[in-house]
Amino acid sequence: MYIPEQEIRAALTYEALIPAIRQALMDYSAGLVDQPARTILRAGNAEGFRNGWFAVMPVIAGDVMGVKTVTFYPGNDELGLHTHMAVIELLRRSTGEPLAVMDGRLITEMRTAAVSAVALDALTSMQAPTLGILGSGVQARSHIKALQLVRPQLKDIRVWSRTQANAERMADETGARVVPIEEAAAADVVLTVTSSPAPILEGRWLATHALVLAVGAIGSSLRELDDEAMQSSYIVAESRSCAERESGDAILSGTKVQAEIGEILSGSVAAPTNRRIVFKSVGMAIEDLTAARLVWQTLRGKNSPEQ
């Protein structure tokens, strides 16, 4: 059974995905998920920044298993193509039977935004924060939808992009305001969703109480946040091992993850108060598996894989 993107779009909602991701992140930190490190190969298609990568992400959790193969080609923007493309295979854990193969691009987009929404809800009590977005692509738009579900009063949205026309187009579509980067970075919540290989967010621009949702720059040599932004903040991640292995923001700044979001959600670690927080998201296979299982359940009339 192959499930294309248009069927996934009709089946998967943030209303269902956000609470499912919340539980998955707690399960991960509780040791209930078998998720090895992803394998990443460089494509060798180009030199420098445009060199793409190909990753394999297996995981076992609950009654299902899955594997996602995903590519990231930064240069695809210039070709009018998606920078991320993926395929997910979902299998029944009890027998190993394949249940479905599905397009993974939209799942990757939505589960990433859902993770950020869970983090926003857990790490700040502000009901009407200002939101500054650095970036104007697919993830910027998806995040607005997901973040507004957990903070419906989130209306003051500031957007900055290296390409002014892209920022203006996104602002027209979402009701955001196009602003200089310093004004976007001074918001209560700052979302970084760029493909920049070098820091674009400077710590000196951030409010002392800011929550930074750092989503872009996946790779040990890439980063969006400068040393000041990282070193002056309390660092939370989906996974200590993933962030400290795969995040250039963490590795190159010499900072360590102080808590996993699943630990904060479960109450085993207290959420920090009255200080700046960086939530570093690198994406995990358990998030893809959680979304893929939801799609399967919906399309199969709510029956679980065990049925």
The answer to whether the beta carbons of residues 90 and 291 sit under 8 Å apart is: no
The answer to whether the beta carbons of residues 49 and 73 sit under 8 Å apart is: no
Q: Where are the alpha helices (DSSP H) in 124-268?
A: 138-150, 164-174, 181-185, 227-231, 240-246, 248-253, 261-266
- Sheet holding 277-280: strands in order across? 177-178, 157-160, 131-134, 189-192, 211-214, 277-280, 234-237, 259-260
What values do phi and psi take at 253, rounded to 5? Answer: -90, -10
Q: Which of 272, 142, 278 is nearest to 201 (CA)?
A: 278
The answer to whether the beta carbons of residues 90 and 64 sit under 8 Å apart is: yes
* Cα(40)–Cα(69) distance, integer angstroms: 10
Any idea which architecture 125-283 has in CATH? 3-Layer(aba) Sandwich (3.40)
Question: Exposed (0-12), middle (13-18) or buried (19+): which is 209, by Cβ within 10 Å?
Answer: middle
Distance of CA 271 to the CA centre of its chain: 20
**Superfamily for domain range 2-107+286-299:** ornithine cyclodeaminase, domain 1 (3.30.1780.10)
Q: Which of 164, 118, 166 is nearest to 140 (CA)?
A: 166
pTM, 2 dp? 0.94
What values do phi and psi take at 46, rounded to 5? Answer: -160, 170
Parse the chain into domains and list their residue ranges.
2-107+286-299, 125-283
The answer to whether the beta carbons of residues 50 and 222 sit under 8 Å apart is: no
Going residue by residue through the chain, which has 307 residues, state the pLDDT in tens, using 9 for 90 and above.
899 999 999 999 999 999 999 999 999 999 999 999 999 898 888 887 788 889 999 999 999 999 999 998 888 878 888 888 999 999 999 999 999 999 999 999 999 999 999 999 999 999 999 999 999 989 999 999 999 999 999 999 999 999 999 999 999 999 999 999 999 999 999 999 987 888 999 999 999 999 999 998 777 888 999 999 999 999 999 999 999 999 999 999 999 999 999 999 999 999 998 899 999 999 999 999 999 999 999 998 755 555 4
Sign (positive or negative) of CA dihedral 64, 69, 74, 77 = negative
